[in-house]
Structure 1
Amino acid sequence: MQFQRETEALGQVAGRLSWDQETMMPRGSADQRSDERAAMETVLHQRRTDPRIAQWLSHIDESELDEAGRAQLRLIRRDYDRSAKIPADLAAAIARTVSRGHVIWAEARANDDFAAFAPVLAEILDLRRQEAQALAGGGDLYDALLDSYEPGAKGADLDAMFGALRPRLVALREAVLDKPQLPGLTQSFDEDGQMALTHVLAKTFGYDMTRGRVDKAVHPFSSGSGDDVRITTRTVPLDPFNCLYSTIHEVGHATYEQNVNAAYRLTPVGHGASMGVHESQSRIYENQLGRSRAFTGWLYGQMRDTFGDFGIADEDAFYGAVNRVKNGYIRTEADELQYNLHVLLRFDLERALVSGDLAPADLESAWNDRFAADFGFAVDKASNGVLQDVHWSAGLFGYFPTYTLGNVYAGCLYQALRKAVPDLDAQLGQGDTSQALAWLRSNLQCHGGLRSPRDLIADAAGMSPSEEPLLDYLEDKFSSLYDL
């Protein structure tokens, strides 16, 4: 296991290079950083495909292992089998190109210039399709990429689940948007106050700041595991909720990693089970807990303490401001009700890209057409449309559907959590998340990658994953909020 622990440690170092690129790296360092990341990926690929791994695996008697040992063996074998199928030069080329592509994307986004990004997007897509072909062995290319983020998931199954989500989401959205819009915030909120409150919220939701830190980035994210788990957020003067709820969201990711059983650290089970399970934690923190009527009542007091009178009369009006449904372009800023519709758009488009049905050069027009059809108004600029997300510049094809899958998982978990903690609202009204977080920690987070994603959710929630609890939760919440 020492060999595996060293590989895991090097993977964490590689992740720190990415974190630095997003937060502190000088702009002029991009070319050198792409070479550094490629070099690190080459080393990691060599270790992950070391022929000794196959020999070691062949000498293990699985019947002598406990549950954790069997899980370690399963994940080591899976990683070895997948890595061995990918040529080393392809792995290095992907690392080098996505590092360069990220810089080009950031500049293109700042200039609202998709044409400047399209050529490198085509390069990244071609490399990822080569990877998918190596992994799929003649099977579905998108499934091969999806499996990297949600092991065992299939695009066709997600398509069916999302198809069941869409009609009720669209019907509820139409009913809500027919109602008068709830009042929102109207004044500017200073950056220092927002960042001070993010630290309060991070600690409120259990983030151990002795093993983490909060920085700013263009696109909020969480990075690392075990004793070094870092998060980022961003500030917007006229929209402090962007900062505050991005922070709560990323804390959900970060505390999951911090709360994995310490005995699993720097092993294959020492991480979250999948991106969908990871997203279930960030979304239940952000939405079912953080945007609840009870918790927003407490947060209203914190906002007044930080910013003084900011034009919202009382806790009920603040709850409405936090949860109001309105038209918007940006996925990360979307309300709970419409968020998944943003994800479904991306899921369909990236499947078309990977299959070859959509050319990268045509992506912007396809995005704009689909957005107008789904949301009823036109995209005004590329940074509000096809360039808003970092994922495709990073080559993360297959990642987007895990956001909605995470929401589905969160709906199942929240239903079980409310049964387990019957006075949850009273606790949240005092800013006390301890029992909710303890339930999530003991029923899900501590297990890391011990079980498959579906089994982990089923064990914690007491039911197989289903979209019904999420839809019921959304309909109950927004029907009450908008008096439907």
Structure 2
Amino acid sequence: MSAFENLMAFQHETEALAQVAGRLGWDQETMMPRGAAAQRAEEMGALENVLHTRRTDPRIGEWLAAIDDTALDAVGAAKMRHIRRSYARATKLPDTLAAEIARVTSRAQGIWAEARAADDVAHFLPTLAEVVRLKREEAAALADGGDLYDALLDDYEPGATAAEIGAMFDRMRTRLVMLREKIMASGRNPAGITGRFDEEGQLKLAQEVASHFGYNFKHGRIDKAVHPFSSGSGTDVRITTRVDEGDPFNCLYSTIHEVGHGCYEQNIAPEFGLTPLGAGVSMGVHESQSRIYENQLGRSRAFTGWLHGRMTTIFGDAGAADADAFYAAVNRVHSGYIRTEADEVHYNLHIMMRFDLERKLMDGSLEVDDLEAAWNTRFEHDFGVAVDKPSNGVLQDVHWSVGLFGYFPTYTLGNVYAGCLNLAMRSAVPGLDDDLARGHTEAATGWLQEHVQRHGGLYEPKEVIERACGFEPNEGPLLDYLDAKFGALYGV
């Protein structure tokens, strides 16, 4: 076998083991007995140690040295790009640190869930401090004297920098705040929906909606979790949702969002399976799929008209007087506490706050003991509402407990990418709203599958979006879309 063939065979096994690790994480959030948390932390740590040992195996370096990337086709060269990047990062990280991060974050996830349920920040802070300490160590090992936050961000959005993202956020913030102020001054205050919507009916409709958006249940499933997420790739892609009988949008739009993630993974070219190209290329591109499914498609006037009809059929009452009132309720703008329930106008302001706070946690200008106060002060400044309890504030997100520092900005980057994709898709797919009004998403999701999803990791993140859209990604299309949609809804 050639060096390339040996490397690909070795990588295939590593990718398979990584899927097993992901399945352990899925099980921890959905099926695992509560009393198994300590043992699961040891299992996760042990498996991460195996994976890290494989990712730093000296033979990888020998194979890489023996391979001439210029002699490979585009697919082979892309695989090498990912492996070289992964190997360079992995070899900077000590085995013991990688295993310790896996053990601590697995344990921290359960402690966070307990603290969130009890609204007890003090119960979580010592563990969070341990996570932050370990992530600072990881960042220092990866950064080679450079910016610590950039070193972590690169794991989720290769090539991006905090300075670049921060500058974009500054440009966006001005227009978002201006739009919000116009909406708040408009005098319009659409009502939310009212009523009780039983869990069985919500989950039935969630399954139906998932199917309409192309989620393949032969290779996937929906379960419940505290914090909805997706997991897996290839032929085993699982998603989760949550249910509040007073708020069916929580379930339905969490489902559509995770379906966007799941369909991306399910629709990657099969020949890329269990290779470096067999998963979404970055979290920003991943979020572009979940956000365009959820917002530009799922919250459109056309699709909400169909959804209103289905809710009326299933529950007897959709909780709104008619389809127009239902559309307004789906897109109601209000200064809520919870990021995952935020409207499109406020959502990115939630992300910008978290981005600023976690950058300070990593550079040491903010310590964990001061995090809650910093969160509450910033939230009241940005949203005009005081945080009433920790579960609506600093304890609401799972990300920091599992060490996902550098992840949050990819949500807004995904929104920006989705704005660009929506502009291109609408131009390429005439009559799309007529389809959506009948609950048919195939034209839209098919376009996304062809232009984004099937490529997996073949191209760099920005290149994926630029190739799909025909222009360099930027925040303009998203902000124009928000101005037009909410300007019409609120008469501003």
Per the TM alignment, residue 135 of structure 1 is displaced from its structure 2 partner at its CA by: 0.5
- 1:156-183 superposed Cα distances (whole Å, 9 cap, x missing partner): 0000000000011011111112222101
Match of 1:17 in 2: 24
Q: Distance in 2 between matches of 1:76 and 1:327?
A: 43
Per the TM alignment, residue 280 of structure 1 is displaced from its structure 2 partner at its CA by: 0.2
Match of 1:212 in 2: 220
Match of 1:135 in 2: 142
- 1:414-450 superposed Cα distances (whole Å, 9 cap, x missing partner): 0000000021111111111111111100111000011
Match of 2:347 in 1: 339
Match of 1:265 in 2: 273
Match of 2:291 in 1: 283
Give the number of aligned pairs. 484
Q: Any stretches of 5+ residues in structure 1 without a counterpart?
A: none
Match of 1:458 in 2: 466
Q: Distance in 2 between matches of 1:134 and 1:312?
A: 54
Match of 1:317 in 2: 325
Match of 1:404 in 2: 412
The match for 2:231 among 223, 237, 241 is 223
RMSD: 0.6
Match of 1:94 in 2: 101
Q: What fraction of aligned residue pairs are identical, expressed as a percent?
A: 65
The match for 1:330 among 323, 332, 338 is 338
Stretch of structure 1 that moved more, 277-286 or 299-308: 299-308
* TM-score, reference length from structure 2: 0.98
- 1:202-247 superposed Cα distances (whole Å, 9 cap, x missing partner): 1000000000000000000000000000000000111100000000
Stretch of structure 1 that moved more, 179-188 or 428-437: 179-188
Aligned with 2:275: secondary structure? coil
Match of 1:354 in 2: 362
Per the TM alignment, residue 461 of structure 1 is displaced from its structure 2 partner at its CA by: 1.1
Q: Distance in 1 between matches of 2:448 and 2:418?
A: 11
The match for 1:59 among 66, 88, 101 is 66
Per the TM alignment, residue 393 of structure 1 is displaced from its structure 2 partner at its CA by: 0.2
Match of 1:391 in 2: 399
Match of 1:477 in 2: 485
Matched letter for residue 390 of structure 1: V
The match for 1:111 among 118, 140, 147 is 118
Matches within 5 A, 1:76-95: 76-95=83-102
Per the TM alignment, residue 472 of structure 1 is displaced from its structure 2 partner at its CA by: 0.1
Aligned with 1:266: secondary structure? coil
Per the TM alignment, residue 58 of structure 1 is displaced from its structure 2 partner at its CA by: 1.2
Match of 1:375 in 2: 383
Contact 2:119 2:391 in 1 (8 A): yes
Matched letter for residue 271 of structure 1: A
Aligned with 1:213: secondary structure? strand
Match of 2:428 in 1: 420
| Corresponding position: 1:304 with 2:351 | no
Aligned with 2:223: secondary structure? strand
Match of 2:5 in 1: none
Aligned with 1:104: secondary structure? helix
Contact 2:153 2:406 in 1 (8 A): yes
| Corresponding position: 1:438 with 2:446 | yes
Match of 2:191 in 1: 183
| Corresponding position: 1:37 with 2:37 | no
Per the TM alignment, residue 30 of structure 1 is displaced from its structure 2 partner at its CA by: 0.4
Aligned with 1:272: secondary structure? coil
Aligned with 1:237: secondary structure? coil
Q: Distance in 2 between matches of 1:115 and 1:264?
A: 45
Matched letter for residue 155 of structure 2: S
* TM-score, reference length from structure 1: 0.99
